[in-house]
Amino acid sequence: MSRIGKLPIQVPSGVTITVDSDVIKVTGAKGELTVPHLSDVTVSLEDGVATVTRNNEERIARAQHGLQRSLLNNAVEGVTKGFEKKLEVNGVGFRVAMSGPDLEMALGFSHPVKYKAPAGITITTDKMNITVSGIDKQQVGQAAAEIRALKKPEPYKGKGIKYADEQILRKAGKAGK
């Protein structure tokens, strides 16, 4: 039995879940998300609790059991609380600022780097910190990863863009004579 798949999902008041044959729509205060309804599992709603059960014991059904539950739980959490990722920019001469909806950064290149946020994602800056937020967990993580990929942190001085909770393993520099 899937340890994740068997857990019930508490559906808060104000959140509606509509189960169709191919998609599951989750609507809440922050917006609406659609989750694909996987073929080998069944989603049932009773008294504010959503449960995911598998139709058989085949390998694909066991794999989809936990996946369907996680996707549905992330959608419920997204439309109620939302998700956010925090990034930090470290480096002499590095700057971040918002220019309209775009994120404009000076990252030590010969030109400023611009990042256009995808639809449904909001980016805010505060000095050398960047906050990426939205209701779709996958989209928030993807946008944060794309921003981080513009200038990954290097191991000698730690310059670059890193997640707020990320630990950079430092290397020793050249050994002097």
- For residue range 10-44, what is the model confidence (pLDDT) as tens digits? 999 999 999 998 999 999 999 999 999 998 999 99
Give 66-103 pLDDT, tens digit per residue.
999 999 999 999 999 999 999 999 999 999 999 988 99
Residues 99 and 4: their CA atoms lie apart, in Å, by: 42
Give 128-161 pLDDT, tens digit per residue.
999 999 999 999 999 999 999 999 999 999 899 9
Mind listing the domains of the chain with CATH numbers? Answer: 9-80 (3.90.930.12), 83-163 (3.90.930.12)
Give 15-24 pLDDT, tens digit per residue.
999 999 899 9
Asked if 70 and 36 count as a contact pair (C-beta separation under 8 A), the reply is: no
Q: What is the largest CA-CA distance in the chain?
A: 73
The percentage of the chain sitting over the pLDDT mark of 70, rounded to a whole number, equals 98
